[in-house]
Amino acid sequence: MAELKLQHLEKVYDNKVKAVHDFNIDIKDGEFIVLVGPSGCGKSTTLRMVAGLEDITSGRLIIDGKDVTRMPPKDRDEAMVFQNYALYGHMTVYENMAFSLMLRKVDKNIIHQKVMAAAEILGLTSQLNKKPKQLSGGQRQRVAMGRAIVRNPKVFLFDEPLSNLDAKLRGAMRREILLLHKRLKATIIYVTHDQTEALTLADRIVCMSMGHVQQIGTPLELYDTPANLFVASFIGLPPMNLFDVTVDGDKLVCEDFTYQLTGEQHALLADYDGKEIVLGVRPENVVENGTIQFNITNNENLGQNTLVHGHIGKKKVVAKLHYWATYKFGDQINIGFDRVHFFDKETTNAIR
């Protein structure tokens, strides 16, 4: 178990690419932290710096009060689980799990106990004599986790562990990882580009873009109060609808509609009177009564809800309705918004 402090971590690669800018977080013992963002935003680089697989260009990494910034990976007491499993094909499941302990010359009986305990936790007891190629993708990923568990590390580092699995298995493995976290009470740093994984797994999410941390917070904080336009569009599926509007007294206006502000919203936007801002509306906050004309193009029934796609003026908009709707191409309805977000157009930051 461990507490980590990442202080002003930066990474500049040899080709001068600055992959990570001033990354700061204090991670509590047993916390599940998910780094999320689009491909190339610097999340793997950050994880690899924590693992010691990449040199830290500047800043400090502290684990349980000890500065490990320049410490080699093997001395950091961390275990990493990779996307491609990195299993040894010629070894059995048992040997794959036992290998790192054998290298460390751990006593054979202790290795046996640890492998059997990990296999039990992961439901691999009946697979121990098989080779990786005889296993399903989900089982291979479990072996990769087993290899980490037997080492009883202070910190587990997961690098996109589920991206090679199909959607159904990803969901199942996500729940297993959560149970594992509860059981091991381990500190976990987990990298993914998938906002659903971030929302479902994390105690706290770190959302990144282009090497910069955009927001750190609980899943609900990032969903409910995104710090800026980037987080607002990245977290939530389908993404938030965004409109350029002008503040005109107690209304927001644009070519295609007028939005009446509440007294509280009016006060919040007092400094923006006459200026353009961005209005954000999550698809689930579009309601089927109001004064805004919505021209429907598609009705996607997903079972438990319906995504209704269309346009307000020229602007594409998606609504998420919580029932089996049956709109058709060409239908016109009037909609409203039951919850909205405001963003400063210049800084892109949320206006609160």
Quote the CA–CA distance of 290 and 270 in Å, as a whole number: 25
CB-CB contact of 216 with 228 (8 Å): no
Count of residues near ligand ADP by CB under 6 A:
12
Binding flag, residue 304, ligand ADP (CB under 6 A): no
- To the nearest 10 degrees (0 to 180), the angle between helices 167-184 and 108-122 is 130
Stretch that binds ligand ADP, among 40-48, 116-124, 179-187, 262-270 (CB under 6 A): 40-48
Site string for ligand ADP, 4-33 (x = CB under 6 A): ---------x-x-x-x--------------
Residues numbered 174 to 193 that lie near ligand ADP (CB under 6 A) are none
CA angle 226, 230, 231 (to 5 degrees): 30
Collapsing DSSP to helix, strand or coil, 276 comes out as strand
Q: Which two tokens stand for residue 250?
A: 């107690």
**Cα–Cα distance between 247 and 269 in angstroms, integer?**
8
Interface residue with ligand ADP among 25, 44, 115, 202 (CB under 6 A) is: 44
φ, ψ dihedrals at 340, nearest 5°: -135, 165
Question: Tokens 């004599």 label which residue?
Answer: 129
One residue of 2, 43, 205, 215 binding ligand ADP per CB under 6 A: 43
List, in order, residues 6 or more apart from 237 with CB less than 8 Å away.
Answer: 195, 196
**How far, in Å, CA of 207 to CA of 71, rounded?**
27
Is residue 12 within a helix (H) or strand (E), and if so which, with residue range? strand 4-12
DSSP assigned state of 349: B
Question: Residue 41, interface with ligand ADP (CB under 6 A)?
Answer: yes
* Closer to ligand ADP by Cβ: residue 39 or 126: 39
Give residue number: closest CB to ligand ADP: 44
* Site for ligand ADP contains 37 (CB under 6 A): yes
Query: In angstroms, what is the minimal distance from the CB of 17 to ligand ADP?
Result: 4
**Span near ligand ADP by CB under 6 A; candidates 42-50, 84-92, 110-118, 262-270:** 42-50
Distance of CA 82 to the CA centre of its chain: 16
282: contact with ligand ADP by CB under 6 A: no
Give me the least distance between CB of 236 and ligand ADP, in Å please: 19
Instruction: Out of 30, 40, 171, 336, point to the residue binding ligand ADP (CB under 6 A).
Output: 40
Choosing from 25, 45, 76, 312, the residue that interacts with ligand ADP (CB under 6 A) is: 45
Q: Is residue 56 a contact residue for ligand ADP (CB under 6 A)? A: no
Contact 232, 260 (CB under 8 A): no
42 binds ligand ADP (CB under 6 A): yes
283 binds ligand ADP (CB under 6 A): no
Q: Min. distance of Cβ 297 from ligand ADP in angstroms?
A: 33
- CB of 75: closest distance to ligand ADP in angstroms? 23
Round to whole Å and give the CA distance between 127 and 145. 14
Q: How many helices (H) and strands (E) does the chain have?
A: 9, 19
| Residue ranges in contact with ligand ADP by CB under 6 A | 13, 15, 17, 19, 37, 39-45
